[in-house]
Amino acid sequence: MCGIVGYIGTKKASPILINGLIRLEYRGYDSAGISTIEKENLSLMKDKGRVKNLYNLPGIDDLEGTIGIAHTRWATHGKPSKENSHPHMDNSNTFSAVHNGIIENYNELRKFLGDNGYTFYSQTDTEVIPNLVHYYYSKDTNNDDLKFLRAVKSACSDFKGSFAIEIICKDYPDNMIVVRKDSPLVIGKGDEENFISSDIPAILSFTRDFYLLDDLEFTVLSRNDAKFYDINLNQIDKKTKTIEWDAASSEKNGFDDYMLKEIYEQPTAIRETIGAKLNENSKCEFDELNFTKEYLENINKIYIVACGTAMHAGLVGKNVIEKLCKIQTEVDIASEFRYRDPIIDDKTLCIFISQSGETADTIAALKLSKEKGAKTIAVSNVIGSSITREADYSVYTHAGPEIAVASTKAYTSQVMLLVILAIYFAETLYINEDKIKELKKDILELPKKLEETLKISENIKEFAKKVYQETDIFFLGRGIDETVAREASLKLKEISYIHSESYAAGELKHGPIALIENGITVVSIMTDSKLVEKTVSNVQEVISRGAKTIVVTNQNIDDTMFEKVIHIPTTNSFISPILSIIPLQLFSYYISKEKGLDVDKPRNLAKSVTVE
C-alpha cells in the first residue's frame, strides 16, 4: 500500500527519492510523485503509472534540491490520476505533503477549508493536509523557528484516522517534518543526511541506524539532526536502533523473482526462527516472555487474530496449542474480530500475527483487546513495527525481509514460531509428555527436510504447465491439511488470478461437489495418518465425476488413482504444514509464470495493508 520516501542531506535528492520509491514498489501502487525544495520554490513532479515514468517527466533532470519527499499511491479516495497522485500542495504552494493512511474526517475539513477560501483540485483526503497546515501557519503571527512545527501539530490535532505524513515548506528549506499515527514510517540516520521511508528495507543500503517513531511524535529533520517533540511540543529524546538485516538479503540473489527466492529461503528462515529457543534437552526459552504456570492455568481462552496468510498460520497454531496445552483457542480474522464485540477479559490471552507488523486491522484488534484487559503477544517479522510496540510482549519470526506480495517464508516461519510458543506454554504448565520430546526432535530436523522437499517439489512445474489455463482449481484437506488447503488456494488466487476455493474434504458432499465437472483440477493434501483414508475416499468421489487430481502426501497411498502425487518427507503432524505448503507455493508460482504475470506484484494487492 502507499509508500513514502524522503531525503534531507547534501546530495541531489531526486535520484535518491526515485530509487527509494522503486524499492517500495512491491507494496503495491498506481501512481508516483516527488517534490523537492529548489532555491526558493517547491518542485512537484507526479503522474499515474509506474515509478520509472517519473524519469520521463520534463524538468526532472534539472532538479537540484537536496531535500525532498516522494510517494507511491495506492488509490483509496479518487481514481488513479495525476491530480490524485501525491505529493499535494496547498493553494499558495508553500507546503508540499505526502500521506499514507486515511484522514477519516476529510469531508468535514474540506468544507471548513472551503468556507475559508481554499480550493481543492483532487478527490483525495490528503489534499486537506497541506491546506490545513497552511491555514494554521497563516494565522500564526510568531515568526520563530517553530512556526512550521506548530502549524503541522495544529493540523494533526484535527485529523481523525491514520496517517504517516512528510511535509516540506518553502520558507524552511533546511527542515522537513515527519509524523505518524497508526501508519508506518521510519527515519534512517546517515552522515549529514537523513532518510525517511515507509519501511526499513527501502533505505537499508544507506544506513542501518533507524529512529522508530511512536504515534504522534513530531520529528523536525535537518541535515545533521533529528529533533523529536511530543503532542504538547515538548522535546523528547530518542535513540537509534541498529537493524541487523543487510541490504543484500533484500535483493534477488540471482533468482528471477523475489517470490521464488523467498520460497527457497525457507530452510534458513526456519533455522533462524528456531534459533536458540528450542533444544532437545532443555525447556524452550523466549527471552521476551515471563509467563508462569499459575498465569497459564488461569487463562480462560486464547484468541489468535490476524489477516490472510498470517491467519492461516494462526489456524495451525490453534491446533497445536489446543492439543498440547489443552487451552481453548479461537482464530479470528482481524477485520471481523474488531467489530464483533469479542468476549475478552483479563483471563484472555490474545496473540496477534503480522509479518509486517503494520496491518491496520490487526493493530486495531490488538488495541481493542488491550482495552478489554487481555494480555497481548505480537508475532511479527519486523522489529520495532507498530504491532510490536503496542503489544505487551513481542516474539519474532526471523524470516528476513519478505518483498514479494504473496507471503511464503513468513507463513512457514509464523507456523514454526507458534508451534515453539505452544511448546513453551506446555512446558511452563509442566506438561511433560513424550510427544513434546518427539516434536522437538522433529522440529530440529525440519530445515533439512525442507531442503529435501524443495528438491522434490520442483517437478510440480510440469503439472503447472498442464493446468495454467484453467479457470477454477479446488483444494481439499482434513484436519491440519484443511488449513494448508486454505493457504494454497489463497496463494493461487493471488498470483495466478485463477478462481480457487478450498474445502474441508468431508464437507464436499454438502454442496460444493456440485461444482465438480469433467476435467476440473482438484488438489488434495494428505499428511495425517488418522485421516488419510477418509480424504482418499472424498477424492475418489471427485475422480468419479471426472476431476484431475493432484495429491501432496507423506503417507503410503495408491499413486495409480491420481494424476500426480508429490511425496514429501514424513514429519510430526503439528509441523507438517511447513512441508506440505512448499509444493503448493511452487505450483502457484509456476502457474503465474506460465501465464506471464508479475509474480511479485500481483494486481490490486499491497504488501502492507495499512488501511482497513
Residue number, nearest CB to ligand F6R: 308
Identify the DSSP state of 182: S
Give the angle subtended at the CA of 264 by the CAs of 590 and 397, to the nearest 5°. Answer: 120
Of 442 and 487, which has the nearer Cβ to ligand F6R?
Answer: 487
- Do the Cβ atoms of 471 and 521 come closer than 8 Å? no
- Phi/psi at 532 (nearest 5 deg)? -60, -40
Of 528 and 600, which has the nearer Cβ to ligand F6R?
Answer: 600
Minimum distance, C-beta of residue 308 to ligand F6R, in the bound complex (Å): 2
Where does residue 86 rank: exposed (0-12), middle (13-18), buried (19+ CB within 10 A)? buried
Of 109 and 311, which has the nearer Cβ to ligand F6R?
Answer: 311
Closest-CA residue to 513 (of 491, 537, 490, 530): 537
355 binds ligand F6R (CB under 6 A): yes
Interface pick for ligand F6R out of 362, 388, 571, 610 (rule CB under 6 A): 362
Of 128 and 310, which has the nearer Cβ to ligand F6R?
Answer: 310
Q: Is 400 helix (H, G, I), strand (E, B) or coil?
A: coil
Binding-site string for ligand F6R from residue 331 to residue 350, where x marks contact by CB under 6 A and - marks none: --------------------
Of 309 and 554, which has the nearer Cβ to ligand F6R?
Answer: 309
CA of residue 478 relative to chain centroid, distance: 28
Matching residue, cell 507471503:
407
Minimum distance, C-beta of residue 368 to ligand F6R, in the bound complex (Å): 16
Q: Which of the stretches 194-202, 303-311, 364-372, 558-566 binds ligand F6R when contact is defined by CB under 6 A?
A: 303-311
- Do the Cβ atoms of 526 and 537 come closer than 8 Å? no
Helices and strands: H and E segment counts in the chain: 17, 26
Active site residues: 2, 607
356 binds ligand F6R (CB under 6 A): yes
- Phi/psi at 38 (nearest 5 deg)? -115, 115
Interface pick for ligand F6R out of 20, 28, 201, 308 (rule CB under 6 A): 308
Interface pick for ligand F6R out of 243, 406, 443, 485 (rule CB under 6 A): 406
Question: Which positions from 492 through 551 interact with ligand F6R, judged by CB under 6 A?
Answer: 494
Q: DSSP secondary structure string, 517-580? A: -TT-EEEEEE--TTTHHHHHHHHHHHHTTT-EEEEEESS---GGGSSEEEEPPP--TTTHHHHH
Question: Which whole-number Å values give the CA distances from 186 to 159, 198, 211, 512, in the listed order?
Answer: 21, 6, 6, 47
Of 65 and 184, which has the nearer Cβ to ligand F6R?
Answer: 184
Interface pick for ligand F6R out of 310, 522, 575, 599 (rule CB under 6 A): 310
Minimum distance, C-beta of residue 58 to ligand F6R, in the bound complex (Å): 38
Minimum distance, C-beta of residue 406 to ligand F6R, in the bound complex (Å): 4
1 binds ligand F6R (CB under 6 A): no
As a whole number of angstroms, the distance between CA 526 and CA 536 comes to 8
Question: Which positions from 569 through 608 interact with ligand F6R, judged by CB under 6 A?
Answer: 608
Interface pick for ligand F6R out of 268, 319, 359, 376 (rule CB under 6 A): 359
307 binds ligand F6R (CB under 6 A): yes
Minimum distance, C-beta of residue 607 to ligand F6R, in the bound complex (Å): 7
149 binds ligand F6R (CB under 6 A): no
Matching residue, cell 499491497:
606
Interface pick for ligand F6R out of 14, 273, 309, 412 (rule CB under 6 A): 309
Q: How many residues bind ligand F6R (CB under 6 A)?
A: 15
Identify the DSSP state of 249: G
Q: DSSP secondary structure string, 19-71? A: HHHHHHGGG--SEEEEEEEETTEE--EEEES-GGGGGGSTTGGG---SEEEEE
Instruction: Point out which residues bind ligand F6R (CB under 6 A).
Output: 307-310, 354-356, 359, 362, 406-407, 490, 494, 608-609
